[in-house]
Structure 1
């Protein structure tokens, strides 16, 4: 009977996990250890720059533990979307860490690298050939948009991970993948139920988030020909039909359907049964095959920013922070136009009132005046020099601007000196499209190396 046991240590490498839970998972003799390494939660800059958002120190420490777990279990270790964004540069970044750790531990292994980065010229050609289609709410694009991207990645599916595992690799470091692909690949290759493979992978993608104790991190998912069973490894964690079924809503617009390369997962008829007070059994999920497409993500430079922060404590200014900020913004805009010669459409000034409505803006529920207000001034312009200049134009207003003309000049608090902080280039996501492939490996590259063999 087809079976695959997948150990998922944590929702993402760098987030931490319960070490005892991981040890219990290794003792349960999994067939593979799979962990996600990426996220778009922190915005487009990491893809735009091709960098990880997690510290190298933390990544190396956790990766070392997982490499030790892999050696103890004697099974492959797979990471998807290595280095946050899954660009080629971050795959190589984690590969370098792998080589360091292998040398320190005296491990000899085979490492496979699956590259997901795309050449903008190749993607532009595919766009012109009609092989790229927009997803819902995708921005309008043209070849100029594509060529402006500093990084483009394609999201690998189960087929590409299966190809990497077929090399006999002990460790697979994959570029951008769907969160589910690294979990679904082995069960699918072993003949487990296709619907269960994708559904269990979706539930397991973030580790113990699908349990009552998300911080414990580690779960075990058993796949077979009829369904899957989720077992938390954290001592205090429990899986329930609610926690397991609810995960279909996580980062997904439809609680019953999930699009993946080559088809759609349909969980409309799925049943969720508590086997005991910790484990949940799921059956009835269906995989509906479709055209083979992979999602594209791309980021491009959207300008340059300079930010400043000032603090308002005076009760009059706190109570009238919105009006004060509007005046500062209007006067600063006027100065930029008249003194720098920029058109109003060439730049942007935004003052966010921390403690008032910086998060929700006009959707904020009215409440009592805060004790103090942080004014975050954001200047955006086509060049770094221009953004910095706008930041300096804002400076005297943020420090001294009075509510009325007939009162003494106030002085507010700058927590830093200099007050202006250049953020450099800022990025925006500009692709939310899919690329049609005749061969699943056509957009990906696979490289294997011996590590620690001298």
Structure 2
């Protein structure tokens, strides 16, 4: 193996855009591979259910353009995981077509592209269900039923590193690998293992962080470089405005994970309890060591989603304070009225935005709604009837009789198409980690007319607004004042809000059925004080989120990141009808308002 392997990730999700100047600075400086993730369940079940892409095709074309230029001029290999979003087999020819178009248009050389399929036949799931060997992937996932398999539009299996390694060993002259549904760090771990890294803990820990690009930096950014060695790896953001710190890198294993210390994947568990994080003298690079990969009986995660009826959405505003004061009762009566009106199955959910807990009431609130029925026409009819109710129904003490709802968008009622829902998210034991993932080699013919010398960077590629950090850098004292002013009303005398002591309070999906919440602290003193005060406990989580004890899957402290984490069962799976926060990214707010004794 080489002494070092340099892996470059321009963006945490293919199609989201990156800075081309930073891209070429990295590639021209020499990297051993460009590796990028392209899939997730975060954006809901529609990709699996109806075959929609995560982003528009043009966004993939834009992001892949420089990738293929690097492959042509520098012969930099490219690995893509979970192609198209869901990793379904139909994505692979679609991406082959995109690659062919770019190669032909730009006069590049011919390229060898490997595809790895990940769809499985439903018969395997039926057989596993019959044997009783299929288990839910997490404590929030219901047991699998035959009807769930029947309803799934397709099933994909999440592959580990083994199919990628097999593909590279069989075709060492490859240029590009387009992988189906993959465990997020699998392509990264595979490339390291293929290049001779024997410590799977190093390979998988690096992949777990790098698959999100430079999200582990502060402020969070996009382009990231990993330098991997036999016993460690270094992480650096490429944006000059960002840097990695030992806390920001250690804290990244909190992100969208049910717990940060033990991460389970196909064939093994990544143990980060003894991992270490060292800030290097350049002030922006962190060296990581100590992760341990422990083999386990091999299971793959099956994912499936179904179409369950159709939806229509609408929105409007309410400014009348008399109606705002009784909006919940008004909307519930409307929902009951509508369900009694129709002789076909239907449902209606309201979402109210901008409410206050008491006077003075909000000057305006937003009322969003979504209707469900078995056909699109029926869903449209329910939405149309909802408009009539919202606009003209009476309510106690009403003074305004001209109408109740301001309508900013017409026509009222926008058809959303099929309602898609997750129905399979389960683990299947297998014997051979490569048997279910066929590998095929393709030659993309290219005219090879452009030459082998990279062109000078064009003016259009010298910068990109997307290269700016996603989080603005703010002076800490100014930030503290912003937080204090935003959290109203103020806390009781002698107390401060938890948000005032934290460097980060966030929530996020950790799969379609869980929501996980993280609190990181600005100082070791604040971490120790809040931990000692017993503010963040399992009991407090139950109280604040009004859940049962069995719904609290994790409640723990994570010292390497000066952090606390809790993971809860979601009331509804991500993207289900009536679910109001698909990414679960706004569920952290109650934690911000927890009161902590001042001066602890």
The TM-score with structure 1 as length reference comes to 0.91
2:381 corresponds to: 389
For 1:297, the equivalent position in structure 2 comes to: 303
- Residue 73 of structure 1: aligned partner: 74
Q: Which residue does 1:361 correspond to in 2?
A: none
Deviations 1:53-94 (A, max 9, x none): 211112111111121123333221111111111111222222
User: Counterpart in 1 of 2:137?
Assistant: 135
Task: Specify which of 219, 224, 229 is matched with residue 224 of structure 2.
Answer: 219
Unaligned runs of 5+ in 1: 358-364
Q: Secondary structure at the match of 1:82?
A: coil
Which residue does 1:251 correspond to in 2?
256
- The runs of 5 or more residues in structure 2 that have no matched partner are 448-600
Taking the aligned partners of 1:24 and 1:453, their CA distance within structure 2 comes to 26
1:316 positional shift: 2.3
1:420 is aligned to 2:420: no
- Aligned-residue offset at 1:449: 0.8
Q: Distance in 2 between matches of 1:51 and 1:5?
A: 33
After TM superposition, the structure 1 = structure 2 runs for residues 44-443 of structure 1, keeping only pairs within 5 Å, are: 44-107=45-108, 108-136=110-138, 137-166=140-169, 167=171, 168-192=173-197, 193-215=199-221, 217-276=222-281, 277-336=283-342, 340=343, 342=344, 346-356=345-355, 368-404=360-396, 409-411=401-403, 412-443=405-436
Alpha-carbon distance change, 275 to 414 in structure 1, aligned in 2, over 3 angstroms: same
The answer (yes or no) to whether the contact 1:132–1:435 under 8 Å persists in 2 is yes
Q: How far does residue 246 in structure 1 lie from its aligned partner after superposition?
A: 0.8
Partner in structure 2 of residue 362 of structure 1: none
* Comparing 247-256 and 20-29, the one that deviates more: 20-29
RMSD of aligned alpha carbons? 2.0
Indicate the residue corresponding to 2:442 in structure 1. 449
Cα distance in 1, alignment partners of residues 398 and 68 from structure 2: 69
1:4 match: 5
Q: Aligned-pair distance for 1:232?
A: 2.0
Pair 445,131 (structure 1): closer, same or farther in 2 beyond 3 Å: farther
Decide whether aligned partners of structure 1 residues 49 and 218 sit closer, same or farther in structure 2, where only a CA change above 3 A counts.
Answer: same
3-state SS, counterpart of residue 90 of structure 2: helix
Residue deviations 1:108-133, cap 9 Å, x none? 10111111112223322332234422
Return the alpha-carbon distance in structure 2 between the equivalents of residues 347 and 73 of structure 1: 57
Aligned length: 439
Q: Which residue is equivalent to 2:469?
A: none
Structure 2: distance between partners of 1:332 and 1:93: 43
Contact 1:21 1:235 in 2 (8 A): no
Distance in 1 (CA, whole Å) between partners of 2:315 and 2:340 is: 21
Using the TM superposition, name which of 231-240 and 248-257 deviates more.
231-240
Partner Cα distance (1:67, 1:306) in 2: 41
Q: Deviations over 1:250-277 (max 9, x none)?
A: 1211211111211111111111111120
Whole-Å separation in 2 of the counterparts to 1:368 and 1:254: 41
TM-score (norm 2): 0.70
CA distance in 2, matches of 1:367, 1:409: 23
Task: Give, in whole Å, the separation in 1 of the partners of 2:29 and 2:267.
Answer: 32
Distance across 1 between alignment mates of 2:378 and 2:122: 28
Correspondence 1:20-31 to 2 at 5 A: 20-31=21-32
Write the distance in 2 (CA, Å) between the matches of 1:447 and 1:371: 60
Tell me how far apart the structure 2 counterparts of residues 86 and 19 of structure 1 sit (CA, whole Å).
26
Task: State whether residues 279 and 286 of structure 2, in contact with CA within 8 Å, keep that contact through their aligned partners in structure 1.
Answer: yes
The alpha carbon displacement at 1:429 in A equals 1.0
Partner SS for 1:161? helix
Structure 1 position 285, deviation (Å) = 1.0
Q: Name the CA shift for 1:405/1:249 in 2 (closer, same or farther; >3 Å).
A: closer
Partner of 2:496: none
CA distance in 2, matches of 1:439, 1:237: 42
16-25 vs 270-279, which moves further: 16-25
- Greater alpha carbon shift after TM alignment, 27-36 vs 310-319: 310-319
Measure the CA separation in 1 of the matches of 2:64 and 2:425. 31
Q: Distance in 1 between matches of 2:401 and 2:251?
A: 56
CA distance in 2, matches of 1:89, 1:127: 26
Write the distance in 2 (CA, Å) between the matches of 1:257 and 1:58: 35
Give distance in 1, aligned partners of 2:398 and 2:406: 21
Q: Distance in 2 between matches of 1:269 and 1:191?
A: 23
- 2:390 and 2:85 map into 1 onto residues whose CA distance is 36
Deviations 1:125-152 (A, max 9, x none): 3322344222222222222211210122
**Equivalent position SS for 1:330:** helix
Q: Which moves more between the two structures, 408-417 or 64-73?
A: 408-417
1:366 Cα deviation after fit? 6.4
Distance 2:73 2:111 in 1: 13
430 and 71 in structure 1: CA distance in 2 versus 1, 3 angstrom threshold: same
